[in-house]
Amino acid sequence: MIGQLLQTPIAYLKGVGPSRAETLQSELGIHTFQDLLSFFPNRYLDKTQYYKIGQLQRSNADVQIVGKIVNLKTVEQKKGKRLVATFVDDTGEMELVWFRGQKWIRENLKINVPYVVFGRCNWFNGKFSMPHPDMELLTEHQKGLKVAMQPIYPSTEKLGNKGITNRVISKMIQQLFMETKARFSETLSDQLLQELHLMPKPEALLNIHFPKNQELLAKAQFRLKFEELFYIQLQLLTKKALRKQKIKGLVFDQVGERFNEFYEEHLPFELTGAQKRVLREIRSDLGSNAQMNRLLQGDVGSGKTIVAVMSMLLAIDNGYQACLMAPTEILANQHFTGIKELLDKVGVSCALLTGSTKKSDRNQIHEALESGELHILVGTHALLEDKVQFQNLGLAIIDEQHRFGVAQRAKLWHKNLLPPHILVMTATPIPRTLAMSLYGDLDISVIDELPPGRKPIKTVHRYDTNRLKVFAFVRDEIKKGRQVYIVYPLIQESEALDYKDLMDGYESIARDFPLPDYQISIVHGQMKPVDKDYEMDRFVRGETHIMVATTVIEVGVNVPNASVMIIESAERFGLSQLHQLRGRVGRGADQSYCILMTSHKLSSEAKTRLQTMTQSNDGFEIAEVDLKLRGPGDLMGTQQSGVLNLKIADIVKDNDILKTARHYALQLLKSDPQLERPENLVVRNTYIKILKNKNIWNYIS
């Protein structure tokens, strides 16, 4: 049975053995024959041509040469030694050089025997040299599987030191094909293979490892990428359908008095079309008998809070309580103030619970929650404590959810017999590509228009040499009664350095904007929370003109009167961070500005980021560029990085294949939800196997 053979431990493959197996496991995560088979090359070299030493050019290209080693010597250098071989053919001589693994190499090299060497040539001391070449005896080379295109596999330093070179890995895979006779089972249905003109699985595996030409390689890559993304989408869509069937939700079947009164009499502004659409989606979820699990995306300032408030009113009108959890005290405070102000008018009781809440207040909150007297609780992680017990929690709203771990979110579920409806909000726009892969099992709503009367923020890039002009502009804005943020980068590795940058900046700003004409607040990560809140509060109340800060102000501070955001060393920030910081201004009716300050020394990636910021205010467009620059792992923050442990697909570059895969997975589940039809048996069996191996699925949202 080929399936069982592929589960054989890698140590049993001829030519591997226990020691190599251990290295393959620790360095590459290769434990079985199957793992080796799915270890795909990351690039290919064309090895159809042989060069003579006399023909070599100083081009830095990879070349293949046939010749002999006539001499071996060890050369002392400043640090350690290098091993140098003189390599000759009938047109000249060159050097082969090794800086590591020398003992093993010296013992295994044969003098005056024809070798085929392959690698990149450098011109050094008047002759060509090839560091760490791939080497093969000519006799072996002639016997090997003839591959026009040489696969290059991902490697690590430790593999190189242990002599597990690219050629060794390639040999292991050849051996695997021989031992299995390349009889690999098909994993997709005939219908999919025919409709998409896909290469059969055994052929695709052969052509990914040993392609005869570019065309066959491209077909193999498409086939394998489609398969990988198809099964991810199948998993996410099944999980979503299952949750809707299994996890019964609380039914909010009425739109009651409080909701209607608020909507008709106290709504501070007309809702945008996008807000109305999202509310309809939420209302339909809440009345559907299934638990809501919805991600609400909206750019900074798009009005997510009002949607959250109206969703809470739906819960309260149906006799349930609601809570809103935010990642920081500042943000929780801000949500609380905003919500209380809006809902006092309709007689809804609201409380705030954070780490700083006094013990006596806490006890009162706990009692009011359990008796049902308290309708809405806003807070930080403090909401997750076991002591916090609701009478009947109906709706939990989580703001900026990527800052909470999965386990923390799950705690909210268990506050009730029936799990509450969950609404997750984020102002970090997630590109559709990534949302389909990471949050494919959540329903997604997007608020994609800004409230009327908001002017787009003008963003400009200025060099440090223009600082005097920038400061003159700041003085003019302050004269008009506006306030200004000046933000310095935060580089975790060196708090001391950040602090110095911030303090140097603060001192020069204090010289340019002296007391008593100008008041300056300062906020950074090393301050006590109390002092931080005091400084923030002065700025919010308009007592200070300028707020000098590190990125602690990134999320959620709302000061409509602030109209200028200056970001120092803007080249040191990521795109999503720049966009979040820019969103701190532009919250009032005045024209707002974001000024990106940098030195003249900029990498090409930094230039792309700055250009994107000056050209676009659209968070989704910016997120797409960010995804292309950084890749999916970085974008989701560290606890999510590497979430999609993909073998061959790349959800950024293979966006089109991902859409195709999702389309076909949806079609299949629509026509055969249980995958019971005979023609879908192969998909069902593959899917069950993947679930058993649980390699990536359990990480997804």
Report how far apart the first and last C-alpha atoms of the chain are (Å, whole number): 36
pLDDT at 502: 81
* Residues 532-541 pLDDT 10s: 888 888 998 9
Q: Does domain 458-616 have CATH number 3.40.50.300?
A: yes
Cβ atoms of 70 and 86 within 8 Å: the answer is yes
Cα angle for residues 273, 447, 312 (degrees, 5° grid): 90
Tokens of 82: 């290098």
* Sign of the torsion angle spanned by Cα atoms 235, 237, 239, 241: negative
Tokens of 309: 């408030």
Q: Which residue from 230, 342, 136 is spatially nearest to 668, judged by alpha carbons?
A: 230
pLDDT at 639: 33
CA distance 301 to 323: 21
DSSP per-residue letters across 475-526: HHHHHTT-EEEEE----TT-HHHHHHHHHHHHHHHHHHS-TTT--EEEE-TT
Specify which residues 152 forms β-bridges with. 43
For tokens 């040299």, what's the residue? 129
Cβ atoms of 503 and 522 within 8 Å: the answer is no
For tokens 């209607």, what's the residue? 260
CA distance 561 to 626: 29
Residues 6+ apart with CB under 8 A from 563: 477, 482, 483, 484, 585, 586, 588, 590, 591, 592, 593
Q: What is the DSSP letter of 59?
A: S
DSSP per-residue letters across 303-348: -HHHHHHHHHHHHHHTT-EEEEE-SSHHHHHHHHHHHHHHHGGGT-
Cβ atoms of 7 and 37 within 8 Å: the answer is no
Residues of the chain falling short of pLDDT 70: 59-60, 145-148, 401-410, 412-413, 417, 433, 436-438, 490-500, 552-557, 631-644, 694-701
User: 616 phi and psi, to 5 degrees?
Assistant: -135, 140
What pTM value is reported for the model?
0.67
Per domain, the residue ranges of the chain are: 48-146, 257-286+303-426, 458-616
Cβ atoms of 143 and 110 within 8 Å: the answer is no
Torsion angle of alpha carbons 491, 494, 498, 504, nearest 10°? -150
Q: Which superfamily, per CATH, for 257-286+303-426?
A: P-loop containing nucleotide triphosphate hydrolases (3.40.50.300)
* Sign of the torsion angle spanned by Cα atoms 434, 440, 441, 445: positive
pLDDT at 408: 65
| Helix or strand (DSSP H, E) at 64 | strand 62-76
Residues 6+ apart with CB under 8 A from 32: 6, 7, 8, 9, 10
Q: What is the DSSP letter of 266?
A: I
CB-based burial of residue 121 (10 Å sphere; 0-12 exposed, 13-18 middle, 19+ buried)? buried
Specify which residues 66 forms β-bridges with. 116
- In what order do the strands lie in the sheet containing 483-487? 458-463, 593-598, 562-567, 483-487, 546-549, 520-523
* Sign of the torsion angle spanned by Cα atoms 232, 237, 238, 244: positive
Domains 257-286+303-426 and 458-616 alike in fold: yes
Q: Which superfamily, per CATH, for 48-146?
A: Nucleic acid-binding proteins (2.40.50.140)
Specify which residues 130 forms β-bridges with. 96
